[in-house]
Amino acid sequence: MICPICAAGDAGTFSSWPEFTVLECRSCGFRFVDTSAPEYPLNAQYAYDEPEIGTLRPWLPHIQRRVRDVLRFKQPPGRVLDIGCGKGEFSVALHERGFGCTGIDMKPNLVPQLQAQCPQVCWRRTTTADLATLAERYDIVTLYHVLEHVPDPRAMLASVKVLAKPGALIVIEVPNVGGLAARLKGRHWHYYKVDHVSYFRTLDLIKLAAELDLEVLGVRGYQHFSYPQNVLWKDIVKGVLGLIGFKDVVSVFLRSK
């Protein structure tokens, strides 16, 4: 399989699990899954479907951390496209700050529940393959824990760039295979999952951004996607771990030119 980052055709096996195998490009070191392999389950993308979303909690500390990250670069008003919105809490949180928000997700059960709880946000069931059908252009496009599920991240980001206005903010957050925890744990790193098909280091995201003429505004790493929690001792421990390199997730902030 061709490497999604450098397009080299020389990849070997990093490690295998019963339902999937992670390859490693011998040219650039990027790790990825060949989703056309016979053992890869066709329904893997639905592995973590949520039949009931419960009560929305946009006030959660890690959701508000994402809001603060966005506000460092863009202030309301403006139009936001939250790709892979999941339970929708981030979209609701941005709406409460004065943005006009559209949240999209591929899971069919989510949209009716989200519409019932927060009709002020535009909710749509849309797959990443359907992004080209969206007519509107946005001031902010976010992809929180989306790109690791995508077998062709370059094509995905090219589609995102088309949706972004000139000068728009694009935010990507993914598990960080270059973090210290991932390097120490090897194949036992908890983010090696059947529905994760692309495994990014910060340098991989920066390379893609450069190729697509997207300006890198900033990079931030966190010990866990749910940091902070507003529990003092946990936040101190996770903050220290993040400072010394245990950054299991990385956020990259880009500007569309």
**246 with 121, same domain?**
yes
Residue 51 lies in a domain: no
Please answer whether residues 221 and 176 qualify as being in contact, where contact means their C-beta atoms are separated by less than 8 angstroms.
yes
Q: Would you call 256 helix, strand, or coil by DSSP?
A: strand
Instruction: Assess whether 33 and 110 both reside in one domain.
Output: no
Q: 37 with 67, same domain?
A: no
pLDDT tens digits, one per residue of 122-149: 999 988 788 878 889 999 999 999 999 9
Which structural domain range is residue 32 located in?
A: 1-42
The CATH number that applies at residue 143 is: 3.40.50.150
Q: Which of 183, 184, 198, 180 is CA-nearest to residue 247?
A: 180
pLDDT band per the 50, 70, 90 thresholds, residue 56: very high
Judge if 72 and 11 occupy the same domain. Answer: no
As for how many domains the chain has, the answer is: 2
CA angle 123, 161, 128 (to 5 degrees): 45
At 39, the amino acid letter reads E
* pLDDT at residue 190, as a whole number: 95
- Structure pTM? 0.94
Q: Do 131 and 102 touch, CB atoms closer than 8 A?
A: no
Query: Which residue, 190, 143, 188, is CA-closest to 168?
Result: 143
**What would the pLDDT profile of 183-239 be if each residue is shown by its tens digit?**
999 999 999 999 999 999 999 999 999 999 999 999 999 998 888 888 888 889 888
pLDDT for 9-53, tens place per residue?
Answer: 999 999 999 989 999 999 999 999 999 888 888 777 665 556 577
- Amino acid at position 157, single letter: L
Q: Are residues 112 and 3 in the same domain?
A: no
29 and 83 assigned to the same domain: no
Co-location of 160 and 187 in the same domain: yes
pLDDT at 105 over 70: yes
